[in-house]
Amino acid sequence: MTTLTLPIAAGKLAAYTLQQPKAFPLAQPPFSRIAFAAAHVVADPLADHDPWLTPAVDWERTIAFRRHLWSLGFGVAEAMDTAQRGMGLDWRDALELVRRSLDAAKDVPGAVVASGAGTDHLAPGPDVGIDQVIRAYEEQIEAIEKLGGRIILMASRALAACAKSPDDYIKVYGRILSQVKQPVVMHWLGEMFDPALAGYWGHADHMQAMDTCLDVIAANAAKVDGIKISLLDKDKEITMRRKLPQAVRMYTGDDFNYAELIAGDAQGYSDALLGIFDAIAPAASAALGALTRGDEQTFHAILAPTVPLSRHIFKAPTRFYKTGVVFMAYLNGHQDHFVMVGGQQSTRSALHLAELFRLADAAGLLSDPERAAQRMRMVLAAQGIAA
């Protein structure tokens, strides 16, 4: 078995021996739950650019990863926060990403893509008002719909900055939803993922905010396929799920409690639109296959070891979770380097990455242990740690 030396607490090092990876059975979609994986982008490490200022994407490897997700039965949630939208990936490159993903999907039977539309090309500021937010949403939606894309309606930092009351949210969303060509997936991204979105829907209290969001959905139910909420609180998600109009889906964005929320209860279940599915795709696909066959015991048995890994990847500051997602892709050979758009590979410590490595191994998710160990050694060596 492969052994290497990893950082542990108190500034020490300890030997760690990897286990054999698990052989996850290949599932046969369609699944009994709709399942989107929010996908990351692969940076181009050879580009001549300023990494903090200008994104450089390896388009070939980025699209290859989407093909990997489609092959496992997932829809791709494109150009979302997992793709570093607003944290390295600008609107220009996000639209190019959407275009390339939609083009690639045409060659894959059954491939599904839904794409994030927001207002991230509009910088919040004292001169930005509600009408400008509406125009910014309209511009992005028009561009994606022109490509034939389906919309995920992302939360807006500019709206959060300029809204004076819940009525402003009702006005903006009512205007936008009245215009979309087909029902959208709304996204309520909590402040733990993006501090600039604190107080979204006009309330600091999530339960009051939920009431405003539900009012928006009820008034526009024909234009809303579902809502993804990312609050990392299963009780709030369940409460909202039970209040949704009958035809509107709840897409869990809870990377802490996804297994039980997808399994559901006697009163319903959540579909899924998750960043962690990028990192645990083989296990998640196998688990969804088991659930579709009615084997809930196997569903939970497969996903249970992935939950500690996910909670570690998404631990506070949660907005840096993309680093763990990309690190998993690097360890498993989906890219040949640990470089991220915006230099975001630096947002997590060596100790954090070492614990991620151990948890991924415990979940059986390191597909080639020797390769993973060698890549872990290289990352540590770059920080002066002999592994």
User: Residues 1-49: pLDDT tens digits?
Assistant: 899 999 999 889 999 999 999 999 988 899 999 999 999 999 999 999 9
In a domain, 337, yes or no: no
Dump pLDDT digits (tens) for 61-118: 999 999 999 999 999 999 999 999 999 999 999 999 999 999 999 999 999 999 999 9
Cis before 30 (ω within 30): yes
Cis before 317 (ω within 30): yes
Dump pLDDT digits (tens) for 300-318: 999 999 999 999 999 999 9
In this prediction, residue 386 carries a pLDDT of 84
Strand, helix or coil for residue 330 = helix
Would you give the distance in Å from CA 349 to the centre of its chain? 21
Give the residue numbers spanning the domain of 221.
Answer: 29-306
Dump pLDDT digits (tens) for 170-222: 999 999 999 999 999 999 999 999 999 999 999 999 999 999 999 999 999 99
In a domain, 118, yes or no: yes
Give dist(CA 211, CA 228) in Å, integer: 15
In a domain, 171, yes or no: yes
In this prediction, residue 387 carries a pLDDT of 67
Q: Evaluate if residue 225 carries a pLDDT over 80.
A: yes
Q: Are residues 251 and 14 in contact, defined by beta-carbon separation less than 8 angstroms?
A: no
For residue 132, CA distances in Å to 92, 95, 122, 152, 361 come to 18, 20, 8, 20, 48
In this prediction, residue 170 carries a pLDDT of 98
Give dist(CA 273, CA 369) in Å, integer: 28
Averaged pLDDT, 224-233: 98
Closest CA to 148 of 102, 97, 96, 94: 102
Residue 164's pLDDT band (cuts 50, 70, 90): very high
Strand, helix or coil for residue 227 = strand
Residue with tokens 């809502």: 227
Closest CA to 190 of 236, 137, 221: 236
Residue with tokens 């009163």: 267
In a domain, 255, yes or no: yes
> Residues 6 or more apart from 41 whose CB is under 8 A from it?
57, 62, 83, 84, 89, 97, 341
Give dist(CA 5, CA 14) in Å, integer: 5
Residue 114 pairs in a beta bridge with 77, 150
In a domain, 315, yes or no: no
User: Is the four-CA dihedral 316, 270, 289, 39 of positive or negative sign?
Assistant: negative
In a domain, 368, yes or no: no
Mean pLDDT of the chain: 97
Give dist(CA 294, CA 120) in Å, integer: 42
In a domain, 197, yes or no: yes
Dump pLDDT digits (tens) for 366-387: 999 999 999 999 999 999 998 6
Dump pLDDT digits (tens) for 306-361: 999 999 999 999 999 999 999 999 999 999 999 999 999 999 999 999 999 999 99
Overall number of domains in the chain: 1
Burial class from Cβ neighbours inside 10 Å (0-12, 13-18, 19+) for residue 260 reads middle
Specify the amino acid at residue 192. M
Residue with tokens 């388009």: 59
In a domain, 278, yes or no: yes
Q: Evaluate if residue 247 carries a pLDDT over 80.
A: yes
In this prediction, residue 1 carries a pLDDT of 80
Closest CA to 116 of 191, 30, 41: 41
